[in-house]
Structure 1
Amino acid sequence: MSGGFPLDLILFGMVAAFLVLRLRSVLGRRTGFERPPAPVAVPRPVEAEVTPAPARRGVPDARGPVGQALSRIRGVDPSFDAAAFLGGAEGAFRMIVEGFAAGNRPLLRDLLSEETYAGFEAAIADRESRSERQRTEIREVRDASIEAADLRGTVADVTVRFVSDQVNLTTDAEGKPVAGTDAVTELTDVWTFQRDLRSEDPTWKLVATRSA
Structure 2
Amino acid sequence: MTELFSLLVFAGVAVFFAIKLYGVLGRSEGHMEPPKAPEPKSRANGAGDRLPPVRPAFEGPAAAGLEAIAQADRSFSPDGFLDGAGQAYRMIIEGFARGDKDMLRTLLADKVFDRYAAVIDERRAKGETAKTEVDRIITTDIVDASADDGVARLKVKFEADIASEVTGSDGQTVSGDLGQLARVAEYWTFERRLDSADPNWVLASVAVA
Same fold (TM over 0.5): yes
Any residues of structure 2 matched to 1:60-139 within 5 Å, and which?
62-139=58-135
Higher deviation after alignment, 58-67 or 160-169? 58-67
Contact persistence 2:19–2:59 (CA under 8 A): no
Task: From 151, 159, 164, give the equivalent of 2:155.
Answer: 159
Higher relative contact order, structure no. (Cα contacts within 8 Å, ≥ 6 residues apart): 2
Match of 1:43 in 2: none
Whole-angstrom distance in 2 between the partners of 1:67 and 1:155: 17
Report the TM-score, using the length of structure 1 for normalisation: 0.70
Whole-angstrom distance in 1 between the partners of 2:197 and 2:106: 14
Whole-angstrom distance in 2 between the partners of 1:84 and 1:147: 16
Whole-angstrom distance in 1 between the partners of 2:138 and 2:161: 7
After superposition, the CA RMSD in angstroms is: 1.4
Please give the secondary structure, in 1, of the residue aligned with 2:65.
Answer: helix
Task: From 174, 185, 190, give the equivalent of 2:187.
Answer: 190
Structure 1 position 63, deviation (Å): 3.9
Structure 1 position 189, deviation (Å): 1.7
Report the TM-score, using the length of structure 2 for normalisation: 0.71
Whole-angstrom distance in 2 between the partners of 1:63 and 1:98: 33
Q: Relative to total residues, which structure has the larger helix share, 1 or 2?
A: 1
Please give the secondary structure, in 1, of the residue aligned with 2:71.
Answer: helix
Cα gap change, 1:63/1:166 in structure 2, threshold over 3 Å: closer, same or farther? closer
Q: Which 4+ residue blocks in structure 1 deviate beyond 2 angstroms?
A: 58-65
Task: From 174, 178, 190, give the equivalent of 1:178.
Answer: 174
Gaps of 5+ in 2: 1-17, 21-56
Whole-angstrom distance in 2 between the partners of 1:141 and 1:81: 20
**Structure 1 residue identity aligned to 2:125:** S
Whole-angstrom distance in 2 between the partners of 1:163 and 1:184: 13
Contact persistence 1:59–1:145 (CA under 8 A): no
Match of 1:209 in 2: 206
Which of the pair has more CA radius of gyration? 1
Gaps of 5+ in 1: 1-57
Cα gap change, 1:118/1:77 in structure 2, threshold over 3 Å: closer, same or farther? same
Please give the secondary structure, in 2, of the residue aligned with 1:193.
Answer: strand
Contact persistence 2:61–2:143 (CA under 8 A): no
Contact persistence 2:151–2:191 (CA under 8 A): yes
Cα gap change, 1:142/1:63 in structure 2, threshold over 3 Å: closer, same or farther? closer
Structure 1 position 65, deviation (Å): 3.9
